Chain A
Amino acid sequence: MSNAIPVGTWASDKVHSTFDFSARHLVVATYRGSLGDIDATLVGNTDGTARLTAAARVASVQTADENLTGHLLSPDFFDAERYPEVTYTATDITRDGDHLVVRGQLTLKGVTKDVTLHGEIVGPAVAFEEQQKLGLTLEGSIDRTEFGITWNANLPTGGLVLGNEVKLVANLELNQA
């Protein structure tokens, strides 16, 4: 069986890597945001094991609305003052064709939980100047209330303004170190 991750250390290209999140909004719609400042490192070992570590700076949160962005930074949500980073670490990475299953631990607002991500791996490929690149797309979902992010508000017609399930999507462009 071939290794899940090509042997070597692969580090994310900041400009071409994104971490987005979305939650159900107003019952039927979806609200999206992103953390723009992320670092991810993927290590493929010769024995076939692999390790993914990633960190995103909460202060880099972006949404389409500056008032919402400010609220997301506050203790009602991420609490950027006390918990400035979101991190993810995984050592259980399996591959079937291009499909990856990554089982790891997400730490958000000081709470660590097991979170499994599914996605695809593309490459390695040489884009230019002999630089080997890997592409990784990973998706998962969490219940934000399990991480102490419980804010909500009632809608005038019943129901709540914000869903508890938050979908996570990471698109990583990784360069061989």
Chain B
Amino acid sequence: MRILGFSGSLRKDSHNTRLLLEAAKELPEGVEFRLFDGLREVPPYDEDDDRDPAPPAVTRLKDELTAADAVFFSTPEYNFSVPGQLKNAIDWASRPSGQSVLKFTPVAVVGASTGAYGAVWAQAELRKVLGSCGARVVEGEVALGHAQQHFTDGQPLSEDTRTQLRELLTALIAEVQQKPLAA
């Protein structure tokens, strides 16, 4: 089983990327984790460019999403919502209409922020967007507030946060393992 980690932040020392890497430590053996690192190269969505062949960065994005059994997103919150570059990549993944590469793909969403709320509004918006793309959105959130205390100041993640990450990943894996009831 392969889970693709997808950070909505481009920053080198991104708290959300760090949160994904911490989450990966909670995965059971036998689950491969890969971090998507091609977000910066995905161009702004333009229907004029949405043709065959697609821009190389879009092809890579779609290939990596397709190859994954599940996608684990971590999003920052910009103005109470999803960062533009993350939304843009999902828009590409969802097009053309009816051919979303996220259709029926199990996904889960977490978030980190420097404020107290851990990107809860962005997480809710991201779940809505992913549902609209046809993804199988796992219920549950992990909201890591004051993320700099952990990823800059060196304070370890609490056991409570690790448990939440582990439970959400367990639910995500269970969705992958639950085969459709009928072909």
A residues lining the B interface (CB < 8 Å): 66-67, 69-71, 73-76, 79, 81-85, 110, 151, 153
Contact A70 B131 (CB under 8 A): no
Find B181's partner among A67, A70, A110, A151 (CB 8 Å cutoff). A110
Q: Using C-beta atoms within 8 Å of the partner chain, give the interface range for chain B.
A: 10 to 19
Contact B131 A84 (CB under 8 A): no
Given A83-B181, A84-B182, A110-B181, does the pair A75, B104 have CB atoms closer than 8 Å? Answer: yes
A84–B104 Cα gap in the complex (Å)?
Answer: 13
A12–B95 Cα gap in the complex (Å)?
Answer: 37
Sample of 26 A–B contacts (CB below 8 Å): A66-B97, A66-B98, A69-B98, A70-B97, A70-B134, A71-B132, A71-B134, A73-B103, A73-B134, A74-B103, A74-B104, A74-B131, A74-B132, A74-B134, A75-B137, A76-B131, A76-B132, A76-B134, A79-B136, A81-B180, A82-B180, A83-B181, A84-B180, A84-B182, A85-B182, A110-B181
B100 beta carbon closer than 8 Å to chain A: yes
Minimal beta-carbon separation of B69 from chain A (angstroms): 14
**Chain B positions 92-115 with a Cβ under 8 Å from a chain A Cβ:** 97-98, 100, 103-104
Which residue in chain A gives the minimum CB-CB distance to B178? A82
Contact B98 A70 (CB under 8 A): yes
Which residue in chain A gives the minimum CB-CB distance to B106? A75
A25–B62 Cα gap in the complex (Å)?
Answer: 33
* Residues in B whose Cβ lies below 8 Å from that of A71: 132, 134
A82–B183 Cα gap in the complex (Å)?
Answer: 8
B82 beta carbon closer than 8 Å to chain A: no
B165 beta carbon closer than 8 Å to chain A: no
